[in-house]
Structure 1
Amino acid sequence: MNITFHGAAQTVTGSKHLIKLDSGTQILLDCGMFQGHGKDTAKLNEDFGFNASEIDFLILSHAHIDHSGLIPKLVASGFKGQILATPATYDLCKILLEDSANIQESDAKYLNKKREKQGKQPIEPLYTKKDALLALTFFKKIKYETIHQVTNGVKLIFKDAGHIIGSASVHLDITENEKTTKISFSGDVGRFKDLILKEPATFRQADYILIESTYGSSLHEDAIAAEDKILEIIRDTCINRKGKVIIPAFSVGRTQELLYSLNSLELKGKLPDVKYFVDSPLSGKATLVVKAHPWNFNEKVQEVLKVDEDPFDFKGLRYVEDVEESMALNDDHSPMVIISASGMAEAGRVKHHIKNNINDPNNTILMVGYAEPSSLAGRLLNGVNPVHIFGEEYMVNAQIKFLQSLSAHGDQADLLRFLACQDKSLIKKMFLVHGEIKTQEIFKEKLMSEGYHDIEIPTRHQSFEL
């Protein structure tokens, strides 16, 4: 058999790894969208690097768009196999893929207006809402810790990855020619001291491991300390300077962690009395899905649930649904906190909030997760000034803050702890995926110093015999 890395290879987004068996069966691990690559993004998402109609099974680690976002395009391109995912991942995909389709159609409509004026032919959206709804019919839900016979000679088990609700590490036992090969794919590994979720689960010995490396070169601050830093930033911005805190946050995972932290501050009587908005209809729907899967919560959250039936709600919190109400927030100059998608500030309402508030030195733009360097969030974090937003130039006068401790990705210590259940001498090869090349090179050196060996950093479309 062989494996080819078609995405998240020396970059963080676009997760797609294709296993081809000697029998001809093809198993795709994730089908994610590339994000935050500027003008190159559309081109990257057009080319799978494989024939969609030849894929027999798609095994999905979790619902984040950089892992699931090209599933509708896969189906529209001829895929007719099964999509295997956890129940919570399916529930999240129901809202995330439809939302992504709406964005594709909206972007195409906007661009076609410009193209018409330029006398150019119209373009088609990457996929449509119809494609997204059709894709959902291909899903088969598999619970954690359940051995599932994918096909003859292929067994699958999902283990809790602790990254977002429903996230899983993927473990395949593939028997060919009377020999069993054990492949493990980490998906995205969560924190071992996550605010909300259980820690990543241990897994059986593997021959080959695909391990994410987003923060393989760094260590996070304690997630518990994030609560105090959020409080400090709100007090300084909203109370002392009478400004706004704008927080680009992914709808799944980060938004819920922020709400949980703010709710915790209210329970302690510390939450400042200002306005709080979640300006993302998708985030509201995602929070409902998270609430519907409480068995994924860790023991601390289980204890909170005994005294607070909703740990993601607090006095003064409002969800903004319609566009008019979102736009009205820009005319309201009172102190407030706005949590809005997307996390990289590349699309959605948060991009408008940043545009309208970036000139005011009394405001703070708070980043709480990973951002591709070329994305708007990445450029702000890297000190680019001025920045271009919607084709216009804006001076960055607002304060730019970064709270890495809320990241849903494990840091170097978490990744090493995730791998600690393995006998290093029995691992035939490790592949570092889902990371920037400089980070991966540092992580590779660390792994080798810990006794791991034969570690590859694949490039896009690179194949290896297993």
Structure 2
Amino acid sequence: MTISFYGAAQSVTGSKHLVTLENGKRILLDCGLTQGMGEKSEERNRSFDFEPENLTCLILSHAHIDHSGLIPKLVRDGYQGPIYCTPPTLELCQLLLRDSARIQQNNSSTEPLYTEEDAEQALQQFVTVPYDEPFQIDEDIELLFTDTGHVLGSAAINLRLQDEGRERTLCFSGDIGRFANRILNPPQAFPQAEIIICESTYGNRVHDSLENTEERLQKIVQEVCVERQGKLLIPAFSIGRTQELIYSLNYLAEEGRLPEVKVFVDSPLSVYATDIMRENPQYFRDSMQEYIKDDPDPFGFPQLTYITEVDDSKELNKIEEPCVIISASGMMEAGRIQHHLKTNLPDPNSAVLVTGYCEPSTLGGKLMNGADKVHVLGEEVEVRAEMMIMKEYSAHADYGDIAKFLHCQDKEQIQRIFLVHGEKSVMGQLKDDLTELGYQNIEIPEFRLSYVV
């Protein structure tokens, strides 16, 4: 059996890992868009390092674009087989892939990677498999999804494979969530595996505690919107991060501690994704199940307005009163957040609150690194607004979460661990720390490198 790493190898985006059995069957784990790497992104997104038509199947860990965003191109380039995922992941991909296709077609500066027609064809090939139910793909491949608590529908991909007359077991973690997540179930234990492909995004750090998250957010809203009379812009991923933020603001509103300012969610994708969250409470953790008995809508409160129409978004840019604006995208590379940044970055009374990872080369990364001028929508904009950071909202596991996720495994039975989805320096630290815990044979694969296991 061979594993080839065609994305998220010593980097964070573009997740793509190819498992090839000795009999020639080829299993692709994720098919994500590479982002934030300049010309490298364009090069990696334009062509595959394998023949799509020769794949046996594609298995998707979750809906985020850096894991799913090249699926329509895979189909456009000849893949006709099944795409396996959990039911909520399909619901979210119906939003994300159609939206991604529209963005591709509306970008007049480059040839689109794929069209809306390609996205629709890809969605026809999806096959949903519930959590915790073994699924026989064929006589050599058995699939089991276990919940990782990263976003709605996220799963570790557990494979039981027949390879040259012997059984092999492999787990691809996908993205691991946090055990302290307030909305979704924590990461679940997964079956014993010989080979583990494990994410490492924040594997070199320990996140700030979630205990005082709402208190910190309340103080920031108070300072920016009440004391300074400015606007608070919160760039946020449409799926996961936006709902966490709304939940926190809703909690403050229910407690009577949210300052009397209006809150806007200005992103059609975020609005529709929030609707999907509302419709899937069965995936919420027990404490959240109890919470919604008293507050049936944890994603709505009187001061909150959801915006989908373009004209309403333009009007929001014109208002002068203090407010909170949550808008996509999280790295600030696209979406309506760019219009709000262009309007409000020159205002020293306003602030931008970053709540997640930004690739250094993205607009968000440049702002976080202290740029005093940036280009937004083709214009140079002076940065006078304050940059703020809250790391509590990260949906990715930290070192403690990763160690806890792996704790269900018998170390003696693990033959190899591959660290992916992280920067090289982070992986190096995580490798050292896991080695100290007794894990052995830990690899940090390079892009396009293959291993016989």
TM-score under structure 2 length normalisation: 0.98
Q: Secondary structure at the match of 1:224?
A: coil
**After superposition, where does 1:36-435 map in structure 2 within 5 Å?**
36-107=36-107, 109=108, 111=109, 123-435=110-422
Displacement of 1:346 in angstroms is 0.5
The answer on whether the counterparts of 1:75 and 1:131 sit within 8 Å (CA) in structure 2 is yes
* Matches of 2:220 and 2:35, distance apart in 1: 28
Tell me, in whole angstroms, the C-alpha distance in 1 between the residues paired with 2:379 and 2:437. 48
Show CA shifts across 1:213-238 (max 9, x none): 00001111122322111111100000
> Where does the alignment leave 5 or more consecutive residues of structure 1 unmatched?
112-122
**Letter paired with 2:417:** M
Structure 1 residue matching 2:433: 3-state secondary structure: helix
**Contact residue 34 and residue 66 of structure 1 kept, 8 A:** yes
Give the AA of the match of 1:355.
Answer: K
Distance (Å, rounded) in 1 between the aligned partners of 2:138 and 2:177 = 29
Alpha-carbon RMSD across the aligned residues, in angstroms, is: 1.0
Deviations 1:274-332 (A, max 9, x none): 11110000101101111111111011211111111100101121111122221222211
d(CA) in 2 for partners of 1:177, 1:187:
27
Distance across 1 between alignment mates of 2:287 and 2:67: 29
Give the match for residue 34 of structure 2.
34
For structure 2, which runs of at least 5 residues remain unmatched after alignment? none
1:333 shift after superposition: 1.2
C-alpha distance in structure 2 between counterparts of 1:456 and 1:356, whole Å: 46
| 1:27 partner letter | I
Q: Distance in 2 between matches of 1:15 and 1:291?
A: 28
Conservation of the 8 A alpha-carbon contact between 1:207 and 1:426 = yes
Question: Shift in Å at residue 41 of structure 1?
Answer: 2.2
- Partner amino acid, structure 2, of 1:290: M
CA contact (8 A) 1:244 1:364 kept: yes
Tell me how far 1:354 sits from its aligned partner. Answer: 1.0
Deviations 1:178-223 (A, max 9, x none): 2111100000000001020111000111101000000001111122
1:395 and 1:273 mapped to 2: Cα distance? 29
- Paired with 1:315 and 1:35, the residues of 2 have a C-alpha distance of 36
**Larger mean Cα displacement after TM superposition, 383-392 or 154-163:** 383-392
Contact 2:22-2:164 at 8 Å conserved across structures: no
Q: Is the CA contact 1:195–1:224 (under 8 Å) kept in the aligned structure 2?
A: no
Alpha-carbon offset, residue 356 of structure 1:
1.2
Matched residue type, 1:5: F
**Contact 2:23–2:164 under 8 Å retained in 1:** no
Equivalenced residues, count: 453
* Contact 1:56-1:80 at 8 Å conserved across structures: no
Q: Which residue of 1 aligns with 2:8?
A: 8
The answer to whether the 8 A contact 1:6-1:16 is kept is yes
Deviations 1:248-280 (A, max 9, x none): 100000000001001100111111111111000
- Aligned partner of residue 146 in structure 1, secondary structure: coil
* Cα distance in structure 2, aligned partners of 1:2 and 1:269: 57
TM-score (norm 1): 0.96
Partner SS, residue 211 of structure 2: helix
Letter in 2 for 1:103: I
- The structural deviation recorded for 1:388 is 2.3
**8 A contact 1:366–1:403 mirrored in 2:** yes
Dislocated runs of 4+, deviation >4 Å: none
Q: Distance in 2 between matches of 1:320 and 1:39?
A: 34
Kindly state the Cα deviation for residue 465 of structure 1 after the two structures are TM-superposed. 0.4
Instruction: Give me the whole-angstrom Cα distance separating, in 2, the residues matched to 1:380 and 1:124.
Output: 29
